[in-house]
Amino acid sequence: HPFRQARFLTSANRIDQLPADRGAEVAFAGRSNAGKSSALNAICDQQTLARTSKTPGRTQLLNVFPVGDEAHRLIDLPGYGYAKVPEAMRLHWRGVIDRYLRERESLKGLVLVMDSRHPLKDFDRDMLAFGAASGRPCHCLLTKSDKLSRSEGARTLAAVRKTLAQEFPNAGAQLFSSHAKTGLDEARGVVGRWLGL
């Protein structure tokens, strides 16, 4: 799969520090601790591509990961909602993310990482509403599914899909586990299609 070629290019603190708005981009969003860094690493089959929450540093920035050439990119959006970040910083990031989502023409779709035990929180609904408003597709990774029994997982997936069908019909969902490595091919398929890979 092409995601093995993903590499870290740059961290942007502002929109104007991002690469030129050409080609195709897929953004990964999620509340802090949802498992977003782990999901990026699992999808790309790399241990240390995205830094997990335990490693401070890049987490408050937009991190850019080209897949192969720079015309195809994964964007790691800063997670927030859980971490104890100062209110001023939260507001700054809220503004940066809002602007990124509204203005970025190369953004083809949004991957929303949610802890499968706590899906569809306010932050997630905001992201899904953005996707619906902008006509961009969303794909929800219900991660840490290894923490659920098989039947709990199936029930969670069905419930999330039902809500999405009613409220956010441009969004899909799947079970995912970075630890158990389940759902990787399905996620790669969706992201790869959006990127045109």
Binding site for ligand GDP (CB under 6 A): 30, 32-38, 52-53, 79, 143-144, 146-147, 177-179
| Pairwise CA distance, residues 46 & 61, whole Å | 20
User: With respect to ligand GDP, which residue has the nearer C-beta, 54 or 151?
Assistant: 54
Provide the minimum distance between the beta carbon of 136 and ligand GDP in the complex, in angstroms, as a whole number.
21
Least distance in angstroms from the C-beta of 197 to ligand GDP = 23
Nearer to ligand GDP, 35 or 109 (CB): 35
Give the residue ranges of DSSP H helices in 81-147: 87-103, 122-134
Shorter beta-carbon distance to ligand GDP: residue 126 or 146: 146
To ligand GDP, the closest distance from the beta carbon of 194 in angstroms equals: 20
Lay out the sheet containing 107-115: strands in order across.
10-12, 62-67, 69-76, 24-30, 107-115, 138-143, 171-175
CB atoms within 10 A of CB 22: 10
